[in-house]
Copies of this chain bind each other. A is one copy, B any other.
Amino acid sequence: MSAFNDATSVRSRPGDSDASDRTYDVTLDPGWAILGKPNGGYLLALLGRAGCDIVGTTHPLAISGHYLRAPEAGPAEVRAVEIRRGRRASTSRATLWQGDKPCIEALVTSGELAMFATDYTSSPAPVLPPPQECAPPETHRFAPEIFEHCELRLDPATVPFPTPTGEATIRFWFRLRDGSEPNASTLILATDIGPPTVFNLRHYGWAPTVELTVLVRGLPAPGWLLCETTCQLVAGGWFDENATIWDSTGHLVAQSRQLALLGEPPAKD
């Protein structure tokens, strides 16, 4: 039914079903990659599913991934450990292994989300033109594999191609192309699906994530997600990227921050 659901599925081993530490077999799908490397948000969503499964919860609430090395598409495993089961939230650890090496280690605090009413927000959804008036990034020849599954529409005011705006903010609409509606896992993906905000500072190189923490704040309504990413600081070769995600009704449903390295710019030709 949902390509994303399939690509993030985790299969526990028969003898493991009652254990407080389990190994899950996974297949890292080459379709959810950027230049051959599985996307960091996709991988974190997959770890979130294992992290919830082992403590019997439904939704990740806060998930912190520390990225050790980039895995290849193909078979891998997630080793998950129950840390604590609680009434409102439970915590587990989930580590992605490939070969004999850990690739990402994540802590997952999880529980049950709802479509919470907003009691207070300082961050109403930004106003941008409707999706049909926003160009897909492919228009600008930015077309990684993952965009075969993910449909983005960039706010013209923040498009980093062909000329950077000079301000490290990118706003865009996002939905899955197969028509499946957003859920808590999709929100984790959404926080890392946009072009790096530092593209708008002319840093067009690779931007490897070192750490990414996502807070899932509510279940999204069906329809497009509205995403805004910003960078507060570039210094010493490091940058941060902060994402805020609203659903189609304007509710804030996820927040994230990542620490990433400024990659080398592509060679001039």
**Given the complex, which residues of B lie within 8 Å of A235, measured CB to CB?**
116-119, 121, 217-218, 251-252
Give the CA-CA distance A43 to B68 in the complex, in Å. Answer: 25
B109 touches A211 (CB 8 A): yes
A105 in contact with B123 given A235-B116, A235-B117, A257-B215 (CB within 8 Å): no
Copies in the complex: 2
What separation, in Å, do the CA atoms of A173 and B191 have in the docked complex?
A: 32
* Total A residues in contact with B, Cβ cutoff 8 Å: 55
In the assembled complex, the Cα of A213 lies from the Cα of B234 at a distance in Å of 18
Q: A244–B83 Cα gap in the complex (Å)?
A: 30
Of A66, A118, A201, the most chain B CB neighbours within 10 A belong to A66
Cα–Cα, bound, A252→B117 (Å) = 34
A236 touches B114 (CB 8 A): yes
Known: A91-B105, A118-B235. A83 touches B64 (CB 8 A): no
6 more CB-based (< 8 A) A-B contacts, given A122-B232, A257-B257: A61-B210, A68-B83, A116-B236, A120-B231, A121-B234, A217-B233
